[in-house]
Amino acid sequence: MNRFKEKMIRRFFQLNGLFVIFVLIGIFVLLIRNSYPAFREIGVWNFFSSAEWNPTSFTGPKYGILAQVYSSLIVTFGAMLIAVPLGVATAAYISEVAGPGVKNILKPTIEILAGIPSVVLGFMGIVVIGPLIARVFNLNQGLNAINGSILLGIMALPTITSLSEDAISAVAKKYKEASYGLGANRWQTLVSVVIPSALSGIIASIMLGMGRAIGETMAVLMATGNSPAMPENIFDSLRTMTATIAIELGEVPFNTTHYYALFAVGLILFIMTFLVNLVSDIILHKYQEVD
């Protein structure tokens, strides 16, 4: 009977894993199927090389994704510039420096930040961060790449901090004791021993935070100005791929070139997210082999 129960439990988890794979493949096939008509009518080169997205142009619809990809990368990497140093430093402080009382308050507070709806953060970007950016940089309005990067950095911060803290806390005590035994102080031990030992987990947290930033919709839709043109600098308004899908998919006629082009945008977004996770997995295995 016990052997039968173990077999059933194993089959149950196996079926769950296969179901997840099946769903993932189904999503990919759906995107491919609905994207093909767009690539056939627009042309793959025109779709990727053009920066003009104007489905209602009087001179003919324009479907170029280059500006959207560039805009998505700008706000994502801007968010990482904010979230990575702050998140890793906060994780190191919580794990290695903070006392039990501070740790019990600070860590749950950061995790609660992950539960704030993105629409609330987007509203803050409009009424608080945007006017502040406009005032500091003497701009007409603050709905631009900097605003989106700040909001995405805030949204990625709990993921990076929490997972990095877990990775740093999992470092064996013998490594720290050996470092202290050689005369290193707490700072030298943290920088030269603890963080390098937890690097694989920290990189994984950064990749997950990047995936969170790439796929975010509402905050960037509200706070970046939604200009479909190619941004020239970080003070320009822009529109990400997720914002384009959210704005246009609800009103586009079915089975039109515009409709299929939005699925093509979703396919590119899917591939970008997949590549981020693939790179993360390769890096994790590399550092595990080194360890």
List, for residues 43-91, the tens digit of each pLDDT value. Answer: 889 999 888 898 887 788 889 999 999 999 999 999 999 999 999 999 9
- Mean of all residue pLDDT scores within the chain: 87
115 has a pLDDT exceeding 90: no
The amino acid that residue 48 corresponds to is F
**Is 70 exceeded by the pLDDT of residue 286?**
no
Mean pLDDT of 154-158: 90
How far is the C-alpha of 253 from the C-alpha of 47, rounded, in Å? 20
Neighbouring CB atoms inside 10 A of 290's CB total 8
Pick the CATH number of 67-290 from 3.40.50.800, 3.40.190.10, 1.10.3720.10, 1.10.4160.10: 1.10.3720.10
Q: What whole-number distance in Å separates Cα of residue 81 and Cα of residue 247?
A: 27
Range in 135-144, 238-247, 257-266, 272-281 with the lowest mean pLDDT: 272-281
Q: Is the pLDDT of residue 147 over 80?
A: yes
User: What's residue 132's pLDDT?
Assistant: 93
Q: How far does Cα 95 stand from its chain's mean position?
A: 24
Percentage of the chain with pLDDT > 70? 97
Q: Where are the domains of the chain?
A: 2-54, 67-290
pLDDT (tens digit, 9 = 90+) per residue, 97-110?
A: 888 888 888 888 88
- CA proximity to 273, closest of 212, 211, 209: 211
Q: What is the DSSP letter of 231?
A: P
